[in-house]
Every structure is written in structure tokens, then in C-alpha cells.
Chain A
């Protein structure tokens, strides 16, 4: 019996979806617009993350050692820093490596090359380069190093760049928080529009709903096909949305790359296509079915 009811419900939902073609089409279009907004918010989120990550990667602090520091002493400091929970990576740069990098960076500058030759020996100091999990943790890491009072530490460049690092950290935090708020607000508006569209679609069928009740249908027998319709709206709208995103991301990606070289929109979309479709379809199905169930409930009280 359950199987028969389920079969009839799905059949009735499909038939109603097809026969109310224009109504279904209009509802799907609004739903697709909602999913488009949600999808765009996902893209913006990925873009923001890429920009923030690339900015964060540019922030680090360097600890310079005294000229006489031994490798063991310097490695001991490195190991201490690595044990800190807020530290993402620590790179040791020896004097020779520092010189090689310096020379490579200034290989076209004859003046610097001749100055180095005049000095005769390597004037650069060994150092460790520290990357934190979050730029806000650099102050604590620097404090740790200062409090430890390592005799071989000559200088920590955090204190020179403190203002810039703090300001950048604060901007990134604001962008994250503000972006999330705007995304939530837009998502709420989009959901409200889709929900109301489905309510209107079902409002046009209120007479049919009461007829069904009067001829002896249970609430769920009436509700079932509308639920199927809601699911179909969600799935078809999700398909339409990802199909629309394919050419749009392909067209926008090259222009966006000029602004944000670290983010290839089309590549990101193609790489995450299935997750993207799954997320939009799941959202569409939940939105469509819940809206339908809520909208029908009102007219079932016959």
C-alpha cells in the first residue's frame, strides 16, 4: 500500500509539474535566480579567501641572529618556535643562503655587486622566517621570543612592521566578518523571494486542494504531489543555474585574473563542479520542498 501511495504521489507530482508548465517554468526561474545568488556568494567567498590567503602569505616575521651564533643554537630557537601552536611554518635561512638570495635579487645591480666585493665577506646574518596560522598571532610569537631572552637573537622585525601587520590583520578580519554578514543578508532575501513565489504558485491551486480534501484525501495525499513539485523545482533550477554558470565563469575568469592573479574562477568552478551542483541542488530541494509543505498546510484546513 505504501509503495502504491508513493508511486501515485510521484506520478501525480510529475503530471502536475508538466501540465502546469508555465507556472512550473516561472517558479523554476525565480528559484534559479535564488540559486544563482547563492552560487555567486560561494564564488565571492572563494575569491575573498584566495585574496586573504595570498595577503596572509605575504605577512611573516623574521628573527635575525648574532653573527657568532652556532647552528645548534639557531636550530634550538627554531625548534622552540615550531612548538608554538599558532606557528604554521618556520624556515631557517643560513648566512650563505641569505647571501645567495640577495645576490639573485640584485644580480642586475652592478653597484651592489661591487659593494659586496669590497666588503669581502658575507655581511648578512642567518635568520629564521616565521609564518603564523593567523596574522593576529605575530605579536604573541614576538613576545615569546623576547621573553625567552635568547642571547643569540639580534633583532625581530615584527616590531618594525607592527603597525602595518596589525592594520592588515584588522582589515582582513573586517572583510571576513562583513562579507559573511552581507552574504547572509543576500541569501535571506533570495530565500524569501523563492519561498513567496512557491506560496503564490500554490495559492493559485487552493481551490483544488480543498476539493481533494472534500473527496476524502488525507493531508499527506494532497501534500505529496506538491512536495514532489517542490523537489523538481529545486533540481531543475540547480541544473539551470550550473549550466548558466559555465559560460559566465568562462567569460569572467580572464578579466578577474588580471585583478586577482591567484584566483582562476573558471578553473575553480570546473574543479568543484560536482560539489557546487550538489550544494545548489540540495539547497534548492530543501527550499522547494519546505516552501511547498508550508504553503500547502494553510489550505489543508478544510
Chain B
């Protein structure tokens, strides 16, 4: 039974979505580990994480699909849970899977999902035509969804999430397997919805260029925890001139740190994503690399692996998780 809930707070503090102390466990596995984050009204918020990081579970909880083991999620001033109707109406969800009926036409699909969200009559017809126009499928609306290309299905998938004009749109990997034309179409849609209609967007992706282009802020999640959260620019700038990530013998960690910290081209030496690696921050990673290697040779210290992290979001991700985003 779905229920209406009273507002949790009468004050509009500019937060569209808030997850507070959210924990979710599958048996012994903690998929989401005490996550607290706020998505501001009108921003595009990116959620980045490798497979198995807990990203999908967190997105599902923030979509009202299931209840977290602990913690609270609110949408605007309404608490969100699988049984709260008012909060769910504010959200548009575009799942990672093509969540459509292939045997139905594009219009039939949209009419069905529109009705699910309470639309009907003239309003439903108008919204169906409007979202078909938005995603550029008006001329194919009467064709069976199963006959669409992968990119067109993705666009129809997006359209189904826009029907009821949600305040908050959650896009879960909306461009996976999409051709460049459809990808650009989706980018344009996201930017226009955010810019022209003020829709708050939570966007998960594997593609750094998408996050850099679209997101006002990004959160990086790994092992169920938020390990970094800021604007893409701030996160990139935190890398300075780049990072050299070297693999070492853990027994030599102290000696290596001491040897490299004294180099003029090195700004800081810190722990890497695991005990066998170190992050070396420099004003110019490429120039510092020569000094680092010479210092290691001089001290007879072994370097097992070397990786230069250019100052971009991919490197930020690698720095915090030790993994490529596509791993």
C-alpha cells in the first residue's frame, strides 16, 4: 500500500535530494556504507563509481525502489521510500536497462508509463507528443519499440522518465551502448532540461567526458563510500600538475617516501589506493618523473609499476579508487 507522508521539514533549504547515513547490506556484504550526500536544487550531480562500488544500489534507494537497511532519503521536503507516493511523483527515473515493452509502439509505451504516473486524457496526449519531440522520435512514435535502434530505444527510455515533468531526474548510465548521434541528443536533452526547466539531475556514468561536460558536481563512490565530492574542476585541480602513481615494495614504503619528499619537483608524497602504491603529486608530473626515477635508482629502491595521472577526472577517479572507471 502506498502512502502519502507529511513533509519532513517545512523549510526549503535548496536541497532537492538528501541521503543521510544511508546503509544497505546484502547479507554480509555492505553495498552502501553510511553515505550522506545532498543534491542541490537545479544542479546536475554526477555519481561515478566502478562496477560493484555500490552506485546502482545507492541510485535504486534514491529512486525509491527499495528501502535502505538504515538511513533516510528525502526528496524536497518529503521522505522517500518504496511506499511513499508523493515523493516518488517528484522523481523521474531512467533505468540503465531499456525499460520498455518492445511489442508496443513508442507512443503506446509512453501512454502506459504516463498513466502509471497519473496522467490522462488531453494532458497525457500532450505530454506524450512533447516528450517525443524532445527526444526527436515524433516521426517514429507509432513504430514498435523493438524495431528501434539501440540509441533510439535509449531516447525513448529517457522520454518515459520525462512524461510527468519531474523535479528530479535520475539517469542511470543513459548513454551505454549508444551511437554518437543519440549520445549527443541525450546530452542536449539533459542540458536543456536543466537549463530551461530547472530540472535537478542525478547522472551516473562510466564516461568521464560526460561527467566533465554535464555535471556541476560529482561524487566518487567506492566500496560503498563516497570517497570524493566536489565540482569536476575542483577535483581536477586537486591533482595539481598531475600525479605519479608508483608501485613499490610495501617494506620500503618509509624509505621511498623519505627519498622522494626531498625532491624539488615533488610537491607531496602520499599513500596510493593500496599499500603497494604511492601517489606523488607534482607541479608537472611528466617533468618530475625523471627526478623520481633517478632518486629511486640512486637509493637502490625498486619500482614495480609507474603510472602518470594527467590532471583530468579519470585521474581523479584513479587516484581515489586505484581503478580505472571502466574496470
A binds B: no
